């Protein structure tokens, strides 16, 4: 087995108050915990405080190897030593157009943010999303007849095609767009394979006994996308922090987005018999699968949701720390994506925490306001090295 590696170590300095959000706890407990060390328990309260766990599980993710490999690939890109895919320009134009259509239809928030990027980055993000969107087809398979066989066969074939993409042998027009993107940015294959591994989890797993298990799933299906997009967004030449800390922030961005997706889609997932919530934390709030399937919002559910939302927001706060260390042209789209996605959490709150029968949505006017706010956040701070 490989050595254990935590994807969050030195880059972020967590104080006792910060550590509160690394674990889910009730809002009542949070108020009572002010000024108390994170490892101490509140002495009373009707709403139970969730048990203390490690912030991030020490898994065999070997993220440090990904960073090293991608850094080497970035150096090759600077030397123009990457293997280049030679393809018909008209075919590529059509390929990226189809990827754009997929992104605009199924990922409106990401698509809106992508419109603020440079043309080459736009195309890369569309191609990466279109590739990841393959995984959405699993949803139609895992609950039907012959689900295990069909989904396993589908994913095996997906992985074969991935190998072909990295060997500059695209199978179809969508693969052609990703082949070109991989060549342009010298992307590493490992995170793409881990994305497929996350989709495999959906073929056999529909419950997560604790946050450690859920975190691993979120890493596979979304944290990996954060890793993949770092070379596309570009690390600022002026950045003085380690590449590992920037990749950690990108992983946190992906984790935060996936936790947000999970909280937005609780009701829809329940209709398919799936619950992407930590079972032990449900239990500590006096809740169970039956409460989720009953789709009734209670005070216990509201308190539980407050803590799940607090956790997602904390991951966004960790992600924010990496944006300023990326290429200046990427700041506005990334801040836009982050703020727009965070607003989904606000929408859940505005729905009185009813994510069992309602889908949280962010209106067009709100989105435009967030773009303006993101633009202001993207401006360099006077006197900083990024000014």
% of the chain residues with pLDDT over 90: 62
Which residue in this structure is represented by tokens 């996936």? Answer: 258
List the domain boundaries for the chain: 53-72+85-378
Percent of the chain that is helix, strand, coil (3-state, to 5) = 65, 0, 35
Residue partners of 356: CB distance under 8 A and separation at least 6? 266, 267, 270, 292, 295, 296, 297, 301
8-state DSSP, 168: T
Average confidence (pLDDT) over 68-80: 65
Question: In sequence order, what DSSP letters do the residues of 269-331 get, joined into one string?
Answer: HHHTT---SBHHHHHHTT--HHHHHHT---HHHHHHHHHHHHHHHHHHHHHHHHHTTB-GGGH
Which residue in this structure is represented by tokens 């943010």? Answer: 113
**Tens digit of pLDDT for each residue in 160-207?**
999 999 999 998 999 999 999 999 999 999 999 999 999 889 888 999
Query: Class of 53-72+85-378 per CATH?
Result: mainly alpha
Work out the pLDDT band at 136, boundaries 50, 70, 90. low
State the Cα torsion 284-289-294-297 to the nearest 10°: 30
Q: For residues 381 and 366, which has the higher predicted lDDT (pLDDT)?
A: 366
Burial letters 37-50, b for 16+ CB under 10 A, else e: ebeeebeeeebbbb
Average confidence (pLDDT) over 318-331: 96
Closest CA to 252 of 226, 229, 282, 230: 226
Work out the pLDDT band at 1, boundaries 50, 70, 90. very low
pLDDT of residue 142: 54
Select the highest-mean-pLDDT range: 29-33, 147-151, 245-249.
Answer: 245-249
Average confidence (pLDDT) over 118-127: 96
Q: What is the rounded CA–CA span in Å between residue 280 and residue 302?
A: 17
Average confidence (pLDDT) over 123-147: 71
Q: What is the rounded CA–CA span in Å between residue 32 and residue 34?
A: 6
Average confidence (pLDDT) over 18-24: 42
- In sign, the C-alpha dihedral spanning 58, 63, 65, 71 is negative
Q: Is the pLDDT of residue 24 over 60?
A: no
Residue partners of 157: CB distance under 8 A and separation at least 6? none
**Model's pTM, two decimal places?**
0.82
pLDDT of residue 61: 61
Q: What is the rounded CA–CA span in Å between residue 302 and residue 287?
A: 11
């Amino acid at each position: 087995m490989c050595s254990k590696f935590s994807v969050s170590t030195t880059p972020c300095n967590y104080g006792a108050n910060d550590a509160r959000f690394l674990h889910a706890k009730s809002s009542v407990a949070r108020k009572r915990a002010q000024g108390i060390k994170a490892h101490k328990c509140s002495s009373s309260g009707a709403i139970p405080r969730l048990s203390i766990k490690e912030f991030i599980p020490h898994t065999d993710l070997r993220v440090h190897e990904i960073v090293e490999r991608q850094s080497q690939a970035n150096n090759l890109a600077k030397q123009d030593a990457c293997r280049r895919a030679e393809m018909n320009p008209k075919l590529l134009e059509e390929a990226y157009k189809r990827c754009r259509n997929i992104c605009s239809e199924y990922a409106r928030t990401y698509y809106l943010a992508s419109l603020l990027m440079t043309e080459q980055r736009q195309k890369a993000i569309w191609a990466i999303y279109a590739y990841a969107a393959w995984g959405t087809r699993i949803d139609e398979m895992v609950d039907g007849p012959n689900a295990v066989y069909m989904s396993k066969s589908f994913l095996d074939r997906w992985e074969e095609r991935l190998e072909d993409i990295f060997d500059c042998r695209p199978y179809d027009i969508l693969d052609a767009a990703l082949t070109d993107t991989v060549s342009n940015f010298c992307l590493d294959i490992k995170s793409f394979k881990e994305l497929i591994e996350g989709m495999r989890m959906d073929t056999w797993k529909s419950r997560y006994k604790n946050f450690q298990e859920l975190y691993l799933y979120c890493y596979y299906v979304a944290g990996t996308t954060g890793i993949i997009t770092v070379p596309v967004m570009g690390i600022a030449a002026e950045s003085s922090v380690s590449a590992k800390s920037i990749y950690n922030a990108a992983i946190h961005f992906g984790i935060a987005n996936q936790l947000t997706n999970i909280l937005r889609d609780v009701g829809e997932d329940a209709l398919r018999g799936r619950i992407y919530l930590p079972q032990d934390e449900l239990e500590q709030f006096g809740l169970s699968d039956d409460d989720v399937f009953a789709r009734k919002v209670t005070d216990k559910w509201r308190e539980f949701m407050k803590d799940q939302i607090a956790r997602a927001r904390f991951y966004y706060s960790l992600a924010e720390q990496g944006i300023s260390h990326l290429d200046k042209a990427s700041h506005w789209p990334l801040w836009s994506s982050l703020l727009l996605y965070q607003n989904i959490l606000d929408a859940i709150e505005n729905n009185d925490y009813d994510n069992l029968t309602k889908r949280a949505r962010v209106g067009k006017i709100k989105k435009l306001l967030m773009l303006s706010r993101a633009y202001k956040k993207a401006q360099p701070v006077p006197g900083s090295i990024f000014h």
